[in-house]
Amino acid sequence: MSQSLLGQGGVEIEDPRHSPEVQIEVNQLTKLFRQGERAAVNGISFTLHKGDILALLGPSGCGKTTTLRMIAGFEQPDSGQILLQGQDVTRLSPQARKIGFVFQDYALFPHMTIAQNVAFAMRHLAKRERPAKTRYWLELMGLQGLENRYPNELSGGQQQRVALARTLAAEPDLVLLDEPFSNLDASLRETTRNEMRALFKRSGTTVILVTHDQAEALTFADQVGVMNAGRLEQLDTPQHVYQYPSNAFVARFLGHTNLLYGDADNGLVKTALGDLQIEPGVVGQVRLSLRPEDLHLSPAPTCDAAARVISREFRGHDYFYTLEQDGVQYCVIAPSHHCFDVGSWVNINVLRGGSVLPH
Amino acid sequence: MSHPDAQISSTGPLLLRKRPPIFLLVPAIFVAVCMFIPLVYLFVRAGQAQPDQLLELVFRPRNLELLWNTLLLTAGVLMICSFLAFPLAWLVTRTTIAAKGWLTVLAVVPLAVPGYVMAYALLGIGGNLGVLSQLFGIRIANISGYWGAVWALSLYTFPYLFLNLRAALMGLDTSLEESAQSLGYSRWEVLLKVILPHLLPAILAGYLVVGLYVLGDFGAVALMRYEAFSYAIFTQYSGAFDRIYAAWLSIMLLALAGMFLLMEAYVLKRKRLASVGSGVGRAVSPKPLGAWQPLAWLYVAFVFMASIGMPVAMLGYWLFLAPPDISVFWQVPVTFMHSALAAMPAALLAVVLALPLCFLSVRYPSSVTRLLERSAYIGYALPPLTLGLAMVFFALQTAFFFYQTLGLLIIAWTIATLALAMGPIRSALLQMRPSTEEAAYALGYTPAATFWHVVFPRLRRAVLAALALVFLFCMKELPITFLLAPTGYSTLAVTVFSRTTEGLMAEAAPFAAAIVLFSGLSVGMVLNREAQKGAR
């Protein structure tokens, strides 16, 4: 992000793509489930602007769902603060927060029809306005004709849309999604994800999503927060988090990576794969993360080749190779139009400079 | 950016635990207090003994004799129950015997015959005026005393053991047996070393239920005139009017029931590994009976002739072959209404009180709510005679205006059946995902509104089941009714009991038949629940 130009002493200028209004601000949120144990959520802070989508990404047990439930008010934080549009809601009960929550299991009321489920959310509207508004939301979700069905008579994708319709019908200031796509099968997941993202963007809804699927986080969100063991390791745009992970955990969690060591000097690092360019100013021993698609393989005669193919995995549009060079293993993703046999000799070329990880 | 509030608002996690709403907590605490009333008054009454009298009461040789008799009765009933239930459960789960569904239904039907009706039927067989002598001229001694009590109790309690065994046998992981067989163990060794240890929790649970029934039963033991604790308490209370001694005997009975519970918990704790796992591999392929077929059917015929055929035949004899005066039949509807009018409010009260207790313990689990929930089992675990007696003490000591009123009976029944009502409600709540309630909170509904709109509508079936269970229990309940019903307020159970003690077998028959027919409904419910379990 760009720094202040007018010398106003550390004031940050907002990214012009975002509207300046802050929707939610979380400060040092901490939750201990049992005294003396490691905190489930440990000092998490972030700010989200109106209309933005944030994905909290992490392995199971990292505290991402607990964070979401604290924001919704289902769990009480042990310390820290949640500000919704500048107002402190940390001690408010869930029903007073105006935060929508879409549950992993959708939590539709099984004794109510689809229309009743959605109308149940419209406490703020007069009774006579509710039927028309219910129709509006169901049509928006492509659920017309299903008004009088019960939740158990719908498919998983339909249930998911009803859950979303019910949440949006309450016109919340913020929508929280807890692994919303995990109960859908793979073919349905991608289309639903795209539809929902388009819908949120159209209506300018602020969304926080919790997921353990890195592809989902990278495609769905404007901001990705990677969590590990109760801490927020990195929070940035998907591109930045992927390309410049702040540490080895983030690098590994967002996909395969090669970790290299080398001596840096004057913007160059000497590594086993040759001299690589990095940002200037770093000196001494460094650790680099190199994505497998940033490496290129070229065939070479046995005498001057450096690496040998150990295994090969065909993945449709590309190959995933494991190679060995001087006793160290590397992974490389290469397009499927050329194929190297297991045992053959190749050279590894680096296409792009790596990102330096802190020690 | 630092927020000063963030520091102030941070407090220890203990204070921030989700606090249950007051509209649940108040009734739950009220219930827990009520549960302790009988216990407190029992000990208060027992404590009124003089110090020198106390030693004499507690160390009276008769107490040892009663203890021995009670233990002997329990052992006998468990033995006969095992004989009735084990082979039957094995036959319907592990062999190719025909009509398994019907055999299972028939094995549950005896639950419809209360112990005192079973005793009534057994008493009518022998003796000079008995059916055998009247119809066939066969003279046998009157069936009473120890063996009379053992058979009367066994014939109606063995279904509890059967149901436990059947469920355990069906849930047994067959891969365990198969791996033992592949290791070279014979079928007999597999039974002893693999199957029986895995059935142990089910056997003990069944034995515990039967054992507690034996301790708590009063009707069968009293009619058979067998000197167990419950019969002694009854004679002390009604004949000798020595209420302090009756209180002490009740405490001893309570201690014995507590010992049974502890013993089961102790054995199961040490045998943790033997508990049945959830992994159900495949259904066992049932073995053909082969040459055992005739013997198996002979055994099945004996079980059902004794447990169903005998009471039905006896009731049939007194109703149709040697019927009482027609005016006796006219008393049945009135007596039935007496029973129902007291049982209905008790059922309602038990369910209304069970709702907050269950919701609290399922949705706000903590040591406090667990304690509140557990307290509801006091009333269920107390031997009914002890509970009835304690309520008499309570009324005489503290609430005399309550003595000899229907209200006292209804409250005592509620205390006794609250745990029964909690069963279906609790399991329905456990099946309900908490996320639906949280969804309602997120939409802005208060806890009370959420309970009303989201929880309660889905509990309807469970509430109906709980109502029916309590209602049916009260309809055939004897000891509490006997002690607490207002003078002259004759219910079905009390009528059968008092007429049988006077030897008026024919005059008791229509009332006993009404109870058996009505209890058939409760058996239907048990079967329905079993079917649901099977379908799951």
Residue B229: is its pLDDT beyond 60?
yes
- Contact list, A79 vs chain B (CB under 8 Å): 6-7, 9-10
Q: How many Cα atoms within 13 Å fall on the side-chain side of residue B337?
A: 4
Q: B129 falls in which pLDDT band (50, 70, 90)?
A: confident
* Mean pLDDT of the B124-151 span: 82
**Which pLDDT belongs to residue A19?**
55
B431 inside 8 A of chain A by CB:
no
Instruction: Say whether both A102 and A72 belong to one domain.
Output: yes
Give me the residues paired with residue A330 across strands.
A323
Residue A18: is its pLDDT beyond 80?
no
Which chain B residue's Cα is nearest to A170?
A: B443
DSSP result, B379-429? HHHS-HHHHHHHHHHHHHHT-GGGTTSHHHHHHHHHHHHHHHHHHHHHHHH
Contact between residue B164 and residue B82 where contact means Cβ atoms under 8 Å apart: no
Nearest to A88 among B5, B18, B440 (CB): B5
Tell if the CB–CB gap between A95 and B441 is shorter than 8 Å: yes
Nearest to B10 among A33, A79, A167 (CB): A79
Nearest to B177 by CA among B163, B196, B162: B196
Shortest Cα distance, chain B CAs vs residue A118, angstroms = 10
Residues B100-123 have pLDDT tens digits of: 888 988 888 888 888 899 999 998
* Mean pLDDT of the B252-275 span: 74
Residue A89: is its pLDDT beyond 50?
yes
**Which pLDDT belongs to residue B305?**
92
* Mean pLDDT of the B130-152 span: 83
The CA distance from A251 to A118, in Å, is: 41
B6 inside 8 A of chain A by CB:
yes
Q: Which residues contact B273 (CB under 8 A, 6 or more apart)?
A: none
The CA distance from B467 to B472, in Å, is: 9
DSSP result, B192-244? IIIIHHHHHHHHHHHHHHHHHHHHH--HHHHHTT---HHHHHHHIIIII--HH
H or E element: which one contains A25?
strand A22-31
| Arithmetic mean of pLDDT over chain B | 83
Q: Which of A11, A44, A95 to mutate to test the interface with B (most CBs of B within 10 A)?
A: A95
Q: B10 falls in which pLDDT band (50, 70, 90)?
A: very low
Nearest to A79 among B6, B442, B453 (CB): B6
**Which pLDDT belongs to residue B71?**
94
Residues A136-194 have pLDDT tens digits of: 999 988 888 999 999 988 888 889 889 989 999 988 989 999 988 887 888 788 888 88
User: What single letter denotes the amino acid at residue A274?
Assistant: G
Q: Which of A35, A44, A45, A101 to mutate to test the interface with B (most CBs of B within 10 A)?
A: A101
H or E element: which one contains A54?
strand A53-57
Residue A316 falls inside a structural domain: yes
The 3-state DSSP class for residue A1 equals coil
Shortest Cα distance, chain A CAs vs residue B530, angstroms = 24
- Contact list, B439 vs chain A (CB under 8 Å): 101, 103, 107, 109, 166
Task: Report the CATH number that the domain containing residue A214 is assigned in CATH.
Answer: 3.40.50.300
Tell if the CB–CB gap between A81 and B3 is shorter than 8 Å: yes
Quick one: residue A23, left, alpha or beta (phi over 0 = left, psi -120 to 50 = alpha)? alpha
Residue B7: is its pLDDT beyond 60?
no
Residue A8 falls inside a structural domain: no
Measure CA A260 to chain center: 26
Nearest to B6 among A80, A93, A96 (CB): A80
Residue B14: is its pLDDT beyond 60?
no
A80 inside 8 A of chain B by CB:
yes
Instruction: Say whether both A238 and A335 belong to one domain.
Output: no
- Sheet containing strand A174-178, edge to edge, reads A99-102, A174-178, A207-211, A53-57, A223-228, A231-236
Contact between residue A170 and residue A96 where contact means Cβ atoms under 8 Å apart: no
Shortest Cα distance, chain A CAs vs residue B4, angstroms = 10
Tell if the CB–CB gap between B16 and A121 is shorter than 8 Å: no
Residue A257: is its pLDDT beyond 80?
yes
Nearest to A100 among B442, B446, B453 (CB): B442
Number of domains within chain A: 2
Which chain A residue's Cα is nearest to B8?
A: A79
Find the distance separating the first CA and the last CA of chain B, reported in whole Å: 55
Task: Report the CATH number that the domain containing residue A288 is assigned in CATH.
Answer: 2.40.50.140
A32 inside 8 A of chain B by CB:
yes
- Contact list, A111 vs chain B (CB under 8 Å): 457-458
CB interface of B with A, residues 453-472, below 8 Å: 453-454, 457-458
Residues B155-194 have pLDDT tens digits of: 989 999 998 898 888 877 666 676 666 666 777 777 877 7
Residue B5: is its pLDDT beyond 50?
no
**Which pLDDT belongs to residue B6?**
35
* Mean pLDDT of the A216-239 span: 94
Q: Per the structure block, which two tokens stand in for B2?
A: 């630092």
B443 inside 8 A of chain A by CB:
yes
Instruction: Say whether both A267 and A243 belong to one domain.
Output: no
3-state secondary structure B40-83: HHHHHHHCCCCHHHHHHHHCCHHHHHHHHHHHHHHHHHHHHHHH
The CA distance from B192 to B223, in Å, is: 39
CB interface of A with B, residues 87-126, below 8 Å: 88, 90-91, 93-101, 103-105, 107-111, 120-121, 123-124
- Contact list, A177 vs chain B (CB under 8 Å): none
**Which pLDDT belongs to residue A35?**
75
* Mean pLDDT of the A123-131 span: 90
- Contact list, A93 vs chain B (CB under 8 Å): 441
**Which pLDDT belongs to residue B285?**
66
Instruction: Say whether both A31 and A160 belong to one domain.
Output: yes
- Contact list, A101 vs chain B (CB under 8 Å): 438-439, 442
The CA distance from A3 to A22, in Å, is: 19
Shortest Cα distance, chain B CAs vs residue A125, angstroms = 13
B19 inside 8 A of chain A by CB:
no
Instruction: Say whether both A217 and A265 belong to one domain.
Output: no
- Contact list, B446 vs chain A (CB under 8 Å): 95
The CA distance from B63 to B57, in Å, is: 9
Tell if the CB–CB gap between B442 and A101 is shorter than 8 Å: yes
Count of A-B CB contacts under 8 Å: 92
Tokens 């008791």 map to which residue? Answer: B508
Q: Per the structure block, which two tokens stand in for B275?
A: 């508990």
Nearest to B439 among A79, A103, A172 (CB): A103
Shortest Cα distance, chain B CAs vs residue A172, angstroms = 9
Instruction: Say whether both A155 and A201 belong to one domain.
Output: yes
Tell if the CB–CB gap between B439 and A109 is shorter than 8 Å: yes
Q: What superfamily would CATH give domain B60-278+288-310?
A: MetI-like (1.10.3720.10)
Which chain B residue's Cα is nearest to A174?
A: B442
Nearest to B454 among A101, A105, A109 (CB): A109
Instruction: Say whether both A229 and A323 belong to one domain.
Output: no
Residue A12 falls inside a structural domain: no
- Contact list, A170 vs chain B (CB under 8 Å): 442-444
Shortest Cα distance, chain B CAs vs residue A124, angstroms = 9
Counting residues of chain B whose pLDDT is more than 90, the rounded percentage is: 25
Instruction: Say whether both A200 and A279 belong to one domain.
Output: no
Residues B414-470 have pLDDT tens digits of: 999 998 899 889 888 888 888 888 899 999 898 889 988 999 888 888 898 889 889
- Where among A229, A252, A275 does a domain terminate? A252
Residue B13: is its pLDDT beyond 90?
no
| Arithmetic mean of pLDDT over chain A | 86
Residue A4: is its pLDDT beyond 50?
no
- Where among A217, A252, A287 does a domain terminate? A252
Residue A332: is its pLDDT beyond 90?
yes
Tokens 């604790």 map to which residue? Answer: B229
Instruction: Say whether both A197 and A277 belong to one domain.
Output: no
Tell if the CB–CB gap between A80 and B10 is shorter than 8 Å: yes
Which chain B residue's Cα is nearest to A30?
A: B10
**Which pLDDT belongs to residue A14?**
47
Residues B451-465 have pLDDT tens digits of: 889 998 888 888 988
Look at the alpha carbons of A130, A136, A138, A143 in this order and tell me if their dihedral is positive or negative. Answer: positive
DSSP result, A67-122? HHHHHHTSS--SEEEEEETTEE-TTS-GGGS-EEEE-TT----TTS-HHHHHHTT-
- Contact list, A98 vs chain B (CB under 8 Å): 444
Specify the domain boundaries for CATH 1.10.3720.10 within chain B.
21-59+323-536, 60-278+288-310
Angle (CA) B80 B84 B88, round 5°: 160
B182 vs B339, residue with greater confidence: B339
Instruction: Say whether both A210 and A268 belong to one domain.
Output: no
Q: What superfamily would CATH give domain B21-59+323-536?
A: MetI-like (1.10.3720.10)
Which chain A residue's Cα is nearest to B459?
A: A111
Angle (CA) B354 B358 B363, round 5°: 155
Question: Which residue pairs, CB below 8 angstroms and at least 24 apart, start in B138-147?
Answer: B144/B223, B144/B224, B144/B225, B144/B226, B145/B224, B145/B225, B145/B226, B146/B72, B146/B73, B146/B76, B146/B226, B147/B76
**Which pLDDT belongs to residue B283?**
57
Q: What's the Cα-to-Cα distance from B394 to each of B27, B28, B36, B263, rounded to whole Å?
A: 21, 21, 11, 31
Counting residues of chain B whose pLDDT is more than 70, the rounded percentage is: 89
Q: What number is the ipTM of this complex?
A: 0.71
Look at the alpha carbons of B146, B148, B149, B151 in this order and tell me if their dihedral is positive or negative. Answer: positive
Q: Which residues contact B32 (CB under 8 A, 6 or more apart)?
A: B371, B372, B375, B376
Instruction: Say whether both A239 and A298 belong to one domain.
Output: no
**Which pLDDT belongs to residue A63?**
92
- Contact list, B11 vs chain A (CB under 8 Å): 78
Tell if the CB–CB gap between B436 and A74 is shorter than 8 Å: no
**Which pLDDT belongs to residue B82?**
94
**Which pLDDT belongs to residue A7?**
38
Instruction: Say whether both A245 and A275 belong to one domain.
Output: no
- Contact list, B14 vs chain A (CB under 8 Å): 35
A12 inside 8 A of chain B by CB:
no
DSSP result, A192-242? HHHHHHHHHHHHT--EEEEES-HHHHHHH-SEEEEEETTEEEEEE-HHHHH
Angle (CA) B261 B64 B60, round 5°: 125
Nearest to A308 by CA among A299, A316, A317: A299
Give me the residues paired with residue A312 across strands.
A321
**Which pLDDT belongs to residue A359?**
62
B52 inside 8 A of chain A by CB:
no
Q: Which residues contact B189 (CB under 8 A, 6 or more apart)?
A: B180
Nearest to B86 by CA among B174, B152, B162, B157: B162
**Which pLDDT belongs to residue A53?**
95
Find the distance separating the first CA and the last CA of chain A, reported in whole Å: 24
Nearest to A141 by CA among A124, A176, A109, A117: A117
- Where among A252, A280, A302 does a domain terminate? A252
Residue B273: is its pLDDT beyond 70?
no
CB interface of B with A, residues 168-197, below 8 Å: none
Q: A84 falls in which pLDDT band (50, 70, 90)?
A: very high
Domain housing A279: 256-357
Contact between residue B119 and residue B136 where contact means Cβ atoms under 8 Å apart: no
Residue A140 falls inside a structural domain: yes
